[in-house]
């Protein structure tokens, strides 16, 4: 990955300070951690595998992808597919604007800030290798850290559809990395069924 500099370090600290405001907590290794801060750290860890030479813009986009997501609850939207899609659309735009504000405040140029925002909005997926790397990273974080718990709350048919969609969103490199994730036997069975 690109060697961090003072401006990059300041941007990361400011993003992480916003993540740390998340009132929801998760216990990891006996410590209570804000959920979105944990998510951001997991995203950065996976990006190091997806794209070891990631640009500064990609590293910041990955870190800001869920910026203050808890402030826009899913429950504020209709509990159907169109409501879900509207929620996701609104989140991407809100998070991109917040990231631009943070990055501009620490001295990044507007063109750089807009590049980060484009990736957060996931524009040009498949055609933009960096946006695709962000998408791969998000899919891998979901599969490794959240899929098993998610599976407990949904029926098998829905899970199979979700795994298929997740797999389809990833590049061949992302799929290759996904195959290395250890899973419970039940989760493995669902994944195999989805990909059969």
148-158: per-residue pLDDT in tens?
887 777 788 88
Q: Which of 74, 87, 73, 92 is nearest to 23 (CA)?
A: 73
pLDDT tens, 80-118? 999 999 999 999 999 999 999 999 999 999 999 999 999
Find out whether 1 and 97 touch, Cβ atoms under 8 Å. Answer: no
Q: Tell me how many degrees the CA angle 56-58-59 measures, rounded to the nearest 5.
A: 65
Question: What is the rounded average pLDDT of the residues 172-194?
Answer: 86
pLDDT tens, 56-74? 999 999 999 999 999 999 9
Asked if residue 129 has pLDDT above 60, the reply is yes
The rounded mean pLDDT for the chain is 92
Report residue 55: phi and psi, to 5°. -70, 165
Distances (CA, A) of 27 to 38, 50, 82, 134: 10, 26, 33, 26
CA atoms within 13 A on the CB side of 127: 3
Percent of the chain predicted with pLDDT > 90: 74
Asked if residue 170 has pLDDT above 70, the reply is yes
- pLDDT for the residue numbered 38: 97
- pLDDT for the residue numbered 3: 46
């Amino acid at each position: 990955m690109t060697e961090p500099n003072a401006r990059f370090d300041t941007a990361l600290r400011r993003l992480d300070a916003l993540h740390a405001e998340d009132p929801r907590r998760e216990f990891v290794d006996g410590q209570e951690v804000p959920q979105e801060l944990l998510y951001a750290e997991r995203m950065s860890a996976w990006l190091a595998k997806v794209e070891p030479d990631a640009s500064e813009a990609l590293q910041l986009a990955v870190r800001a992808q869920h910026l203050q997501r808890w402030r826009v609850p899913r429950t504020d939207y209709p509990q159907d597919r169109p409501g879900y899609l509207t929620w996701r659309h609104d989140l991407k735009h809100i998070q991109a604007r917040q990231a631009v504000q943070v990055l501009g405040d620490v001295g990044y140029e507007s063109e750089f800030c807009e590049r980060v925002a484009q990736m957060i909005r996931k524009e040009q997926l498949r055609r933009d290798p960096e946006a695709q790397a962000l998408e791969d990273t998000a899919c891998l974080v979901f599969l490794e850290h959240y899929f098993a718990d998610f599976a407990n709350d949904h029926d098998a048919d829905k899970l199979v559809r979700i795994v298929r969609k997740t797999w389809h969103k990833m590049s061949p490199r992302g799929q290759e990395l996904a195959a290395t994730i250890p899973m419970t036997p039940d989760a493995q069975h669902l994944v195999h069924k989805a990909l059969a």
